[in-house]
Amino acid sequence: MSLFIIFIFKIVTRNKYSLASKDFIIYSFFFALMFTWTGFIGQVIWKTAAIQYLWGYTILIVLYYYLIIENKSFYLISLLGGLFIGLYNEQFVAVLLLFCLAYFIERKINNKIINKGILFFLTGLLIGGVILIAAPGNYVRMDQMSNDQSISLLSQLIYFIHIFKYNLWPHTLIIAWIFILYFALAISNKNNKKISIVIYSLALITVIFVMAPLAYSYGIQIRLMLIYYIIFFIAMMQQFYDNQSIAVTTIYKAFKKIHILFLIGLLIIMGVMGSAYYSIYKFNQNRQKLITELHNKNIENITIPTFELHGEAQPYGITFEAITCDSNNTNNQAFAAFYGFKTVKAEDC
């Protein structure tokens, strides 16, 4: 997580500021606000045991820094990094493929040199993607998705736009608002070429629709949103730090003057999230005691309380798979099997 935070800071500021600067405090506040409120940190902490998500995102961020910001090549590392990331999932491959294409098109139109390291990364990415799709067992998941694909692509897109617009968790519209901020910052920056703004703006919009087939089959799940939270946050913050317009420069200077308020805000955010996780810890301790008591009483069909904090089942920044009122729910069945019960369901149903 430390590498993830630090390298995003180095990317958005183009390595102009140190970790001991006021800029890092300001950046840390917005990072914490974005990645706790959306549930990103809660999700990657939960998923890290599977050696997924956070590790892949961190490798991608580090590669981006050296290949794009520092303009290094690192052919072998780029190839292996692309291969590793390509083995993650089809969404990962498709999103990065579109951004690589946008990069090549933008460089070609503006007569800029293409970093060969990106070519090696793309090669590894495609190889990894092919291996992923051809891997034994992957057909089971693909067949499950194909059962939902009899509806036309247009209908899927319309459905996706609808659920994207009205979805409350995970947060989806925050992506739209961040894009608006990114676009406003980009067009106000005189150093940006209009064609570059158009290309990368279209890329940002297009990659969102990569998850349309997945969302149609499984709904919009938070794991589908993680990569978008990263990409859009970096795009917006990078344009903020690159922008030399009078308005943005004035805002930037004002932020530095009140950096102590950002530090206080950062501490509050981390305190709220830490408190939520401690509450989960206490809840799990009490639940373990209850499970022991139920086993001692030889009760096989059990009813247990669900986690809530201040009346919320999904408190700030937390990803928590709770027991439901349906004993046939997958989570309920897994819980019952793990703890040796026949059935389990939530209280107060």
Domain boundaries, the chain: 2-257, 278-346
Torsion angles phi and psi, residue 304, rounded to 5: -130, 155
**Residue 168 predicted with pLDDT over 90:** no
pLDDT at 260 over 60: yes
Q: Binning pLDDT at 50, 70 and 90, where does residue 166 land?
A: low
pLDDT bin (cut points 50, 70, 90) of residue 273 is confident
pLDDT one-digit tens code per residue, 171-191:
788 888 999 999 999 999 988
Residues 6+ apart with CB under 8 A from 88: 52, 56, 128, 132
pLDDT at 266: 95
Distance CA 59, CA 85 (A): 8
The Cα-based distances of 113 to 88, 104, 108 in angstroms read 29, 9, 8
pLDDT of 99 higher than 60: yes
Reported residue count of the chain is 349
**Most confidently modeled range among 109-123, 155-169, 319-333:** 109-123
CA angle 292, 296, 297 (to 5 degrees): 120
Backbone dihedral angles phi then psi of residue 122, each to the nearest 5 degrees = -65, -40
pLDDT, average across residues 130-147: 67
What distances in angstroms separate CA 14 from CA 18, 31, 87, 240, 301, one per listed residue?
11, 16, 29, 12, 58
Q: What is the pLDDT of residue 181?
A: 95
| pLDDT for residue 170 | 65
Give the CA count within 13 Å in the CB-facing half-sphere of 270: 11
Q: What pLDDT was estimated at residue 141?
A: 57
Choice among 64-68, 140-144, 285-289, 345-349 with the minimum mean pLDDT = 140-144
Scanning the structure block, which residue is given the tokens 């999103």?
A: 95
pLDDT recorded at residue 318: 66
